[in-house]
Amino acid sequence: MYRQIAKSFLFCAGLAAAAFSQAASTFTEGKHYEVVAEKATATPVVTEFFSFYCGHCFAFEPLANKLAKSLPKGVKFEKNHVDFLQASPPEVQNSMARAYLVGRNAGKGEEVAGMIFDYIHKQRANFGSDSDIRSLLLVNNFDAATFDNGFNSMPVLAEASKMKEQQSYWTEKKVLTGVPMLLVNGKYKVKFDGLDKENAEQELIDLLAYLANKK
């Protein structure tokens, strides 16, 4: 029995190695991804740069949620909100990022992001103040105390500041030229136009897994 289990394990490992090898020959630099840094992050991570005001990001959001759930074990998915769209002042966009972070830290990041996206793109509404953002979450049954305790907390302010730093860094490097953008391991920028239009979703899933394992 143990010999059969061992053989089964080796067979599965062989299939995984073969699949990875096939991906290595399928995905090419310049067509499917760009190398934008010399060193990769210490741990594997896929970062999505996005804006709640971006229509393309709104359309991409369901796939982004699917990608986050389909990544190999140990690969983190992060959302990095940007504030350079002209729909509202950067301060308001920063507040939206903080609201998302409060939701994410409460285990409801996907739900809170959905609320904000729908408010802007389905209801055709906008935020004039932090209280407008708070009201949106509370009317959608988000816990008031959780929002109030987190929105201006030091951890959330620090995370929002880190988002801004990442935005500035990659903008200065001329890597962040639009959203949505996917960056893998802080080194590889995904080229969406290189994906097979007939199988773009699965190919993107495979590409992220391939790049996440690449140093």
Domain range list for the chain: 89-160
C-alpha 83/C-alpha 212 separation (Å) is 27
| pLDDT string in tens for the chain (215-residue length) | 544 434 443 344 444 444 444 455 589 999 999 999 999 999 999 999 999 999 999 999 999 999 999 999 999 999 999 999 988 999 999 999 999 999 999 999 999 999 999 999 999 999 999 999 999 999 999 999 999 999 999 999 999 999 999 999 999 999 999 999 999 999 999 999 999 999 999 999 999 999 999 98
DSSP conformational letter for 213: T
- Give the model's pLDDT for residue 40: 97
Q: At which residue do the structure tokens 């959302």 appear?
A: 79
What 3-state DSSP class applies to 100? helix
- Give the model's pLDDT for residue 75: 98
Which amino acid is located at 123 in the chain? Answer: Q
C-alpha 105/C-alpha 112 separation (Å) is 11
Residues in a beta bridge with 33: 29, 190
Counting DSSP H helices and E strands in the chain, the numbers are: 8, 5
What 3-state DSSP class applies to 46? strand
Instruction: Tell me whether strands 188-190 and 76-81 are parallel, antiparallel or unpaired.
Output: unpaired
The torsion angles phi and psi of 5, rounded to 5 degrees, stand at -65, -45
Q: How far is CA 209 from the centre of its chain?
A: 14
Handedness of CA 178, 173, 70, 137 (dihedral sign): negative
C-alpha 38/C-alpha 103 separation (Å) is 33
Q: At which residue do the structure tokens 């609320």 appear?
A: 115
- Residue 71 has a CB neighbour count (10 Å cut-off) of 18
Q: At which residue do the structure tokens 């759930």 appear?
A: 69
- Give the model's pLDDT for residue 141: 98
For residue 86, is it left (φ>0), alpha (ψ between -120 and 50) or beta?
A: alpha
Cis, peptide link before residue 180, omega less than 30° from 0: yes
